[in-house]
Chains A and B, each alone.
Chain A
Amino acid sequence: MHREARIANYALAVLSALSLILLSLHLSAPVQAFKACVTYVLNPVAYYGAKGSERFSNVPANVKDLLAADMENRLMREKIKQAQWVETESESLKVENQRLRAALGLKAPQLRSPTWAHVTERDPLHWYRSVMIDAGAGQGLTVNAPVLGTQGGRLVAVGRVVEVRANASIVLLLSDELSSVAAYAASPSTETPRSFEGLLQGQGNARLRMNYLIPDATIEKGDMVYTSPTSATFPPDVLIGTVTQIYPPDQELEWKSVAVAPAADASRLEEVLILKIQSEAAEAPKLSQTAPEPDSAQIPEAAP
């Protein structure tokens, strides 16, 4: 017999005996210890295999995301080019507006600049009352600055800043009982205001209530509610929500009220837009550079 064959026979005997011991004494401590050792040595193959497989399985999704991001990037570049023209036009109109307002003797509206912030904290016990955001005095925020969110690609009213810290602020949501905002309703099809203004108040839950509507106001379910130009905090015509219920008229009250579902879902807020109030001093040099004040002698005073 060849030497190799003889060694193979010995190896077979040893390995077979070992296998039979493992099979027959599988509950004994030495076999359990041996199994633990084998598991310790060989299990990383499956463990790291699973890790690697998971990483590779994400590759198609990552490539797809990358392609989508590239296409989106190209689209955005085109939009930025268009937006630059719109911005130039807007600046020109703003200057013209300022000049005409000055000519008519009207008070200039507050200038605002937007700042985005992330919602960092939401107290479960005060779910519909307030949220904390990661922008504060360091970012130029002030108390009472209006806070907007996005819903379906458009800006919607969320609340206002009530407490400003160095790099964080607390936003009182419209759904809080202490919140109220002047609002008007508009038909969703035409979006023409029905001239029925009321005061929208938070209820501490997911619904808002619009009070002080005149009794003969023709308001319907589904009507959109926007911020009124008379609002002291919010810019006009910002969507607040949709009328969901018309409360039956109360004989003792001289006004009617409706329930409004807020457009901004408090439970899904992730980013918000805060409108910072710009100081006139900061804006004045810019205006003076771009549009010189017209000669007051040539323009007649507007009637008060």
Chain B
Amino acid sequence: MSLARLPLIFLAAMLVQWWWMTHFTLFGLAPQVLLVLTVALAARQGALAAMFCGFSWGLFLDIMSPRLFGANALALTLIAYGTGSVRRQIDMAGLAPQSLVVVSMTWAYFLLLGFLGLVFDPAKTFFWVGWPAFLIDPFYNCALTAAVFAAWLPPRWEHHRGMA
């Protein structure tokens, strides 16, 4: 990815996340676009770029919520780091490993936000996202991962598109 495209994707991702959460929820559920992109970025570019993007995207999510400023930033930073670590162990270029990581990272994200609420919120309450979001959102994110994968193929997959 060229350096010129990164700011564009960075801004467009926030816009898409905001638009989806505001106008396109299905039964009150919306995918975590920024989480999916953080994982995709970490899988393709490595943990470092993904951590900085994830941290900034997390701040964007944090300013839209009145409580726990910094929670999403920490969660997406850790997700980027975790994905980057996994990338060193297994091949993350394919859709299946990325989808698996997204599903597991979504659950980890929800649980981490809950625990951060328990520790840092003045009310000391576990921030529970609710069973519908907890059970459906990982697969919603998984579907979005497939879309992101199709739109942003890794270089070694490009020749498959050419053959098709």
A19, B71: Cα distance in complex, Å: 7
B48 at interface, CB cutoff 8 A: yes
Q: Judging by beta carbons under 8 Å apart, are A42 and B14 in contact? A: yes
Q: Judging by beta carbons under 8 Å apart, are B59 and A42 in contact? A: yes
Question: Would you give the shortest CB distance from B77 to chain A, in whole angstroms?
Answer: 5
List of B residues within 8 angstroms of A102 by Cβ: none
Q: Judging by beta carbons under 8 Å apart, are B55 and A43 in contact? A: no
Which B69-91 residues have a C-beta within 8 angstroms of A?
A: 69-71, 73-74, 77-78, 81, 84, 88
Q: Judging by beta carbons under 8 Å apart, are B15 and A49 in contact? A: yes
Q: Judging by beta carbons under 8 Å apart, are A53 and B74 in contact? A: no
List of B residues within 8 angstroms of A31 by Cβ: 69
A291 at interface, CB cutoff 8 A: no
Contact with B along A12-46 (1 / 0, CB 8 A): 10011011111110100001000100110011011
A43, B52: Cα distance in complex, Å: 18
Which chain A residue shows the least CB distance to B23? A53
B116 at interface, CB cutoff 8 A: yes
Given contacts A39-B63, A45-B11, are A23 and B46 in contact (CB under 8 A)?
no
Contact with B along A47-58 (1 / 0, CB 8 A): 001100100000
Q: Judging by beta carbons under 8 Å apart, are B63 and A19 in contact? A: no
List of A residues within 8 angstroms of B157 by Cβ: none
A15, B49: Cα distance in complex, Å: 12
Which of B14, B52, B84, B116 meets A45, CB within 8 Å?
B14
Question: Chain A at the B interface: mostly helix, strand, loop or mixed?
Answer: helix
Contact with A along B111-138 (1 / 0, CB 8 A): 0000010011000000000000000000
Question: Would you give the shortest CB distance from A56 to chain B, in whole angstroms?
Answer: 10
List of B residues within 8 angstroms of A12 by Cβ: 47, 51, 77-78, 81
List of B residues within 8 angstroms of A53 by Cβ: 19, 22-23
Question: Would you give the shortest CB distance from A1 to chain B, in whole angstroms?
Answer: 10
Contact with A along B38-60 (1 / 0, CB 8 A): 00000000111001100110111
Q: Judging by beta carbons under 8 Å apart, are A7 and B63 in contact? A: no
B64 at interface, CB cutoff 8 A: yes
List of A residues within 8 angstroms of B147 by Cβ: none
Interface size counted on chain A using CB atoms at 8 A: 27
Which chain A residue shows the least CB distance to B54? A15
List of B residues within 8 angstroms of A46 by Cβ: 18, 64
Interface centre among A18, A22, A26, A39 (most CB of B within 10 A): A22
Question: Would you give the shortest CB distance from A59 to chain B, in whole angstroms?
Answer: 14
Task: Tally A-B pairs: CB < 8 A.
Answer: 89
Q: Judging by beta carbons under 8 Å apart, are B52 and A11 in contact? A: yes
List of A residues within 8 angstroms of B71 by Cβ: 19, 23
Q: Judging by beta carbons under 8 Å apart, are A11 and B48 in contact? A: yes
List of B residues within 8 angstroms of A18 by Cβ: 55, 70, 73
A45, B63: Cα distance in complex, Å: 12
A254 at interface, CB cutoff 8 A: no
Q: Judging by beta carbons under 8 Å apart, are B77 and A22 in contact? A: no
A8 at interface, CB cutoff 8 A: yes
Question: Would you give the shortest CB distance from A23 to chain B, in whole angstroms?
Answer: 4
Give the interface of A toward B (CB within 8 A): 4-5, 7-8, 11-12, 15-16, 18-24, 26, 31, 35, 38-39, 42-43, 45-46, 49-50, 53
Beyond contacts A11-B47, A26-B69, A45-B11: 17 other A-B pairs, Cβ-Cβ < 8 A, are A4-B46, A4-B48, A5-B47, A8-B47, A8-B81, A11-B52, A12-B78, A15-B52, A22-B69, A23-B74, A26-B120, A38-B59, A42-B14, A45-B14, A49-B18, A49-B22, A53-B23
- Which 6 residue pairs of A and B lie closest in terms of their CB atoms, listed nearest first? A22-B70, A19-B74, A23-B70, A8-B47, A23-B120, A19-B70
